[in-house]
Amino acid sequence: MSETLTPQLPKDEAAEKGLVNVQIDGTWIQVPKGTRMIEACKMAEKEVPHYCYHPKLTSPGNCRMCLVQMGMPPRPAPGAEPVYGDDGYQEIGWMPRPVISCANTVGENMGIRTTGKLVEEVREGVMEFLLINHPLDCPICDQAGECSLQEFSVEHGRGQSRFVEDKVKKPKNVDIGPRINLDDERCIMCSRCIRFMDEVADDAVLGFSERGTHTTVTCHPDRRLDSNYGMNTIDLCPVGALTSKDFRFQMRVWFLKETNSIDVNCGTGCNTTIWTRGSKVYRVTPRRNDDVNSEWMPDSHRLAFHETQGDDRLTDPMIKVDGKHEITDWNTALTAAADALKEFQASEIAIIASARQTNEELFLTKALADTLGITTLATVPRTGEPDGKLISADRNPNTNGANLILGATPTTEIIKQKLHSGEIKALLILNEDVFEAAGFTHDDLAPAEFIISSNIIANKTAHASDIFLPGASFAEKRGSMINVTGRLQRLNQAIQPTGNAREDWEIIRDLILTITGEKNDMFMIENVLKMIATNIPEFNGITFSKIGDQGIPLIETGVEIPLLTKERAQAAAGIIVG
Amino acid sequence: MNTLEKNVASPVTPGEQHFPPFEVSDDIIALADERISHYPESKLSAVLPLIHIVQHKHGFVSKEAITWIAGKLEIEPMKVVSVVTFYPGFRQSAPGKFHYRVCRTLSCAMAGSYELMDQICEITGIDRSKLSHHHPIVVSPCGMYSVEFAECLASCGSAPVCLVNDDFHENIKPENAQDLINKYQP
């Protein structure tokens, strides 16, 4: 048998790995078989402008913005063998007309041109059509600064309009839902919002009415856009057609600072971006994490940040004197708290910790309990209806962290009983409102001789406290939390704590130091995480930089996020890219 | 009336007297069920036949009809609205007893269909100026007649042409408009 002398061709090499060779703007790369052309271009770090395409949604191919030039090897004449060049590739025969890259998949020896005369001309043409009926009201449009139409006009538009006819008038300022406003003249009919509501939110209230140049995104008057996932359409909208009633006209986006963080309103821990200016949070938007929240988040969680900026926000330490709270400084408050705790036997003190605390705060809470010898430590479970998408039944963001760090803790019912029996005389309540979350009544708290609490707003627990220590909101602190799937994620500080409030881990640290009288050797939250990493095996080797913006899987819980399960099934079926 | 309500609104016209108001009768349910049985894969496909049934019987597609069709097909009412507003053949308000669809595509336009339309309007007392994109149908004050421009009716060789209800008429010169009207008397 003669040995073959033909060297292996690139196509065979690629085929062995399930890949295909694609030439993108002159450079050959290998991409998985079945990859969309637009994704292949992304892999080659070539930008293809697009509006309607979104990897998490189906591709209708209706915006025509992602047109590229495509070429395949010419079919050999009958009887002829394919000819391979010196580099092992066949010559590419370029098609004279462009194709959309979002809905076509790559093939072996395919060529894609994302630049060149043809591509530039068609992009200019598509841009001109998209802008024909656009009102060009960027100066008063909320999307300005984060608008794809604006960006691609600059990059691919012709700069001047040749349109001399009358623009089509469409409805403006349409009250399409309780949280969303619609301007149909700005809409470019990409249909992302329609597909999102249909495919992800399972509430297909949006649709097109009319036809051709009069096509309008709208909904039936009895079925408005009031889904708890509706505001994701605002982020999806590439133009200023769908805008948030909450955020519109509040601030220009280019003035806002973006901080990557996580949502703390349920166990899922949706990844978020917090948009701030100065010391104010202006909006919270979801951030992509394919292992947590895909690219979405529920409206209720998105708007929850307002609670931390209300009039009831407490920003000063307070001591109750003759039944009235008086503002004081931190030293006085902490000393008073330490002195008060020393008045009681360790067995007479109970700590109500919270699965809303970060791992670092929980660890220091445990350290505080150990310092004083306190054994009665409880957390408040917080459960609700799961919504089958992103909202978990566990409304505490860090239940897994609390279980890891504090161990199994009893519920507050035991503390309630011990208060009534007189076993417990002093309470330290951290980040919890026992009235709202644990069903305490004033009668339940009446036997307590001394209550110290830490929180951010003036709730009933704060009113009942003898000493109140103001903590930081989710946007004002750093820390880590473990979500329902066991993923360790990172909270980042977007703004400084309001007024005299302090980060919660510092409050607990200072309370420990005031009690022991030791010198501080813990200046940074990194020190706390380091101590967790040395003390708790699961955290071995963990640092904030290792957690990163996407988090890391820490423990196995077997819990799945329903929205991701659905999305992965769609991606496996090839309906979406994923 | 807000913008969203306009999507399903049916402005009152004098033509309404000629059509029974929409109601979910046994008759219409039987017709709808029969059509739905043609599409075992997806009931959604029956949306066009159902709209036709409603329009044929009640003259136009009202909000109540849209809600009923959506419920019948287990789809969002918006999907029905999309279809109703997409096709110019579907109406959301009542036409006259005799509905004139005059072709205005090239051959007919050149052969005088605009003049034909003017003639029909003059004879029937219809205010031609009220015809617009958003009001494609105008009904005569008596409610007997209504006019609408149509796109190509596929008979360019015999232009100008028009449809009266479901009857097709060829070579209607503007001066013969009166003869055409005379054919349809109450």
In chain B, the residue whose alpha carbon lies closest to the alpha carbon of A171 is B3
Please give the domain boundaries of chain B with CATH numbers for all domains: 13-86 (no CATH), 98-183 (3.40.30.10)
Q: How far is A227 from chain B (nearest CA, A)?
A: 14
- Which residue do the tokens 């690139």 mark? A10
The conformation of residue A99, written as its DSSP 8-state character, comes to E
> Is B2's CB within 8 Å of A223's CB?
no
Residue in A180, A202, A222 to test binding to B, most B beta-carbons within 10 Å? A222
What is the reported pLDDT for B1? 83
d(C-alpha A445, C-alpha A465), whole Å: 10
Domain ranges of chain A: 10-115, 125-309, 318-558
> Is A218's CB within 8 Å of B76's CB?
no
How many Cα atoms occupy the beta-carbon half-sphere of B30 within 13 Å?
3
What is the reported pLDDT for A402? 96
pTM above 0.90, yes or no: yes
For A340, the enclosing helix (H) or strand (E) is helix A330-342
Torsion of CA B167, B172, B177, B181, to 10 degrees: -20
Dihedral angle sign, alpha carbons of residues B150, B151, B152, B157 = positive
> Is A224's CB within 8 Å of B5's CB?
no
d(C-alpha B33, C-alpha B24), whole Å: 13
d(C-alpha A242, C-alpha A196), whole Å: 13
d(C-alpha A147, C-alpha A51), whole Å: 10
User: Strand, helix or coil at A282?
Assistant: strand
A:B CB pairs within 8 Å: 60
Listed residue (A434, A479, A433, A438) closest to A456, CA to CA: A433
Share of chain A residues as helix, strand and coil, in percent rounded to the nearest 5: 30, 20, 50
How many Cα atoms occupy the beta-carbon half-sphere of B144 within 13 Å?
11
Residue pair B143/B96 in contact (Cβ under 8 Å)? The answer is yes
Record the tokens describing residue A161, joined without a space: 């309009």
In chain A, the residue whose alpha carbon lies closest to the alpha carbon of B70 is A220
What mean pLDDT is predicted for residues B21-44? Answer: 96
How many other CB atoms sit within 10 Å of the CB of residue A252? 12
**B5 interface with A at CB cutoff 8 Å:** yes
What is the reported pLDDT for B102? 96
d(C-alpha A489, C-alpha A485), whole Å: 11
Q: Which amino acid would we find at residue A268?
A: T
Residue pair A64/A98 in contact (Cβ under 8 Å)? The answer is no
In chain B, the residue whose alpha carbon lies closest to the alpha carbon of A218 is B4
Query: What's the CA angle centered on A486, arms A485 and A491, to 5 degrees?
Result: 105
Return the bridge partners of A479, or none: A491
Mean pLDDT of chain B, nearest integer: 95
Each residue of B90-137: pLDDT tens digit?
999 999 999 999 999 999 999 999 999 999 999 999 999 999 888 899
> Is A207's CB within 8 Å of B81's CB?
yes
User: Domain A10-115 classified CATH 3.40.50.1700?
Assistant: no
> Is B81's CB within 8 Å of A220's CB?
yes
In chain A, the residue whose alpha carbon lies closest to the alpha carbon of B81 is A209
What is the reported pLDDT for A8? 84
Is B150's pLDDT higher than 80?
yes
Query: What's the CA angle centered on A248, arms A245 and A249, to 5 degrees?
Result: 135
Give me the CATH topology for the region A125-309: Alpha-Beta Plaits (3.30.70)
Residue pair B147/B117 in contact (Cβ under 8 Å)? The answer is yes
| Helices A399-406 and A359-372, axial angle in degrees (round to 10) | 30
pLDDT in 10s for each residue of chain A, 578 residues? 455 556 688 999 999 999 999 999 999 999 999 999 999 999 999 999 999 999 999 999 999 999 999 999 999 999 999 999 999 999 999 999 999 999 999 999 999 999 999 999 999 999 999 999 999 999 999 999 999 999 999 999 988 889 999 999 999 999 999 999 999 999 999 999 999 999 999 999 999 999 999 999 999 999 999 999 999 999 999 999 999 999 999 999 999 999 999 999 999 999 999 999 999 999 999 999 999 999 999 999 999 999 999 999 999 999 999 999 999 999 999 999 999 999 999 999 999 999 999 999 999 999 999 999 999 999 999 999 999 999 999 999 999 999 999 998 888 889 999 999 999 999 999 999 999 888 899 999 999 999 999 999 999 999 999 999 999 999 999 999 999 999 999 999 999 999 999 999 999 999 999 999 999 989 999 999 999 999 999 999 999 999 999 999 999 999 999 999 999 999 999 999 98
What is the reported pLDDT for A410? 86
d(C-alpha A123, C-alpha A117), whole Å: 10
Order the strands of the A479-482 sheet from edge to edge: A479-482, A487-491, A552-553
Residue pair A378/A414 in contact (Cβ under 8 Å)? The answer is yes
d(C-alpha A134, C-alpha A239), whole Å: 10
User: Strand, helix or coil at B98?
Assistant: strand
Options 3.40.50.720, 3.40.50.2300, 3.40.50.740, 3.30.465.10; CATH of A318-558: 3.40.50.740
Q: Which amino acid would we find at residue A413?
A: E
What is the complex's ipTM, to 2 decimals? 0.91
